[in-house]
Amino acid sequence: MNRTFFSRAAVPGLAALALGLALSGCGAANEAQGAGNDSKLASSQQLSGTLKGAGSSAQEAAMDAWRADFQKATPSVTVNYDPAGSGAGVEQFTAGATDFAASDKALDAAAGEIAAAKKRCGADALEVPDYISPIAIIFHVPGTRKLNLDGSTVAKIFAGTITRWDDPAIVAQNKGVKLPSTRITPVHRSDESGTTNNFTDYLHRVGGRAWRWEAAETWPVKSGEGANGTSGVVAAVKTGNGTIGYADASQASGLATVAVKVGASYVGPTAAAAGKALAASPLEKGRPAGNLAVQVDRATTAAGAYPVMLTSYLIACPSYPKGKAEAVKGLLGYIVSAPGQRAAAAHAGSAPLPASLQPRAAQIVGSISAK
């Protein structure tokens, strides 16, 4: 009886003690890490409040990493991010419901998005690229791990005009690869997505007459196989025979991928190559100051560039009420900083911003001021 009493009291007591020790240990480790991580983060210790963002679901994994790092260093600021989709993100931002937006495409001047953002901010909104991710063209043909294809062949395959894997156009670019006569099943996203928008933009720019559709978030061709989400496309390509699809490269590990023709050589989907393609692209013309929208040059011939990639943007105001301005600047500044970009590369498999853009993005975010 006595023993039972003691053990009853002792076990929770010990457990509580152990938990307390473990927690304080964790806390100490966090602080050390936060302090050593980045000087920018350490200086924003006195901030408080809640930041709200919404938009791109492609950025979700990277945003999780950024939020975690930022909140570790600045526990007093809570960051909420709703991966509601790029369109919804921009809409919520211009309606004033969120503090910043993340979008898989730059603000559309023709659709009045730039004007709406200007109205919400009281000045031209800031827009900087923060997330670059190669889109892998994945396929499943037993026995084949890699294929070389030029843009017009890729366009013909996805348009359904090349229907067999042993088509002369494919064989001619892949000497020594034994291809079966299996029928090609192109797999596309059945939901709306920024990945589709970027991929169809590529096909539109390089496909020539083989591709007669504009870039769109909804797959424009009424043939082929549709699948829900990145995971759906990957699953369909894996289970099918003779399938080919497109998906964020971070989700395509272990699958056979296409190297696309850039200039005279073929380039595979790596983060570094996607960064090179962005570095080789000019900025969009006619944009207000503080707007770093890039007109991705899909037909680039720069050596080692992989132009089939998704470029995602952060959209914010140039000024916020006091208190909020510092918090937004702190978070966005960390996202476009070199350590922030490295964190995203590690967690989400994205490409860090190229050296030609990163300092400009950092400078634009650094100009955020209090009203």
| The token pair that represents 348 in the structure block | 């989400």
In this chain, which stretch among 122-130, 219-227, 269-277, 341-349 interacts with other proteins, using CB under 8 A? 219-227
In this chain, which stretch among 42-50, 228-236, 271-279, 330-338 interacts with other proteins, using CB under 8 A? 228-236
Binding residue for other proteins (CB under 8 A) from 124, 192, 284, 297? 192
193 lies in the binding site for other proteins (CB under 8 A) = yes
Binding residue for other proteins (CB under 8 A) from 243, 281, 312, 337? 243
Distances, alpha carbon 333 to alpha carbons 93, 107, 302, in Å: 19, 20, 29
Q: Which is nearer to other proteins, 78 or 190 (CB)?
A: 190
In this chain, which stretch among 16-24, 35-43, 222-230, 341-349 interacts with other proteins, using CB under 8 A? 222-230
3-state DSSP assignment of residue 235: helix
Contact indicator for 110, 133 with CB cutoff of 8 Å: no
232 lies in the binding site for other proteins (CB under 8 A) = yes
Bridge partners, 314 (sequence order): 102, 128
Task: Please report how many Cα atoms fall inside a 13 Å half-sphere around the Cα of residue 19, on the Cβ side.
Answer: 6
- Residue count, binding to other proteins (CB under 8 A): 33
Binding residue for other proteins (CB under 8 A) from 33, 48, 76, 241? 241
Distances, alpha carbon 141 to alpha carbons 238, 241, 246, in Å: 10, 6, 15
Q: How far is the CB of 306 from other proteins (least distance, A)?
A: 25
248 lies in the binding site for other proteins (CB under 8 A) = no
Q: Which is nearer to other proteins, 159 or 353 (CB)?
A: 159
Sorted by sequence, the CB contacts under 8 Å of residue 176 that are 6+ apart come out as none
Binding residue for other proteins (CB under 8 A) from 37, 44, 185, 311? 185
Q: Which is nearer to other proteins, 87 or 268 (CB)?
A: 87
* Closest listed residue to residue 169, CA positions, set 180, 181, 153, 158: 153
225 lies in the binding site for other proteins (CB under 8 A) = yes
Sorted by sequence, the CB contacts under 8 Å of residue 30 that are 6+ apart come out as 72
Tell me which residues in 32-71 interact with other proteins (CB under 8 A).
57
As a residue count, the chain comes to: 371
235 lies in the binding site for other proteins (CB under 8 A) = yes
Contact indicator for 106, 127 with CB cutoff of 8 Å: yes
| The token pair that represents 294 in the structure block | 């890039």
Contact indicator for 170, 146 with CB cutoff of 8 Å: no
For other proteins, the binding residues (CB under 8 A) are: 57, 84-88, 90-91, 183, 185, 187, 190-193, 217-218, 220, 222-228, 232, 235-236, 239-243
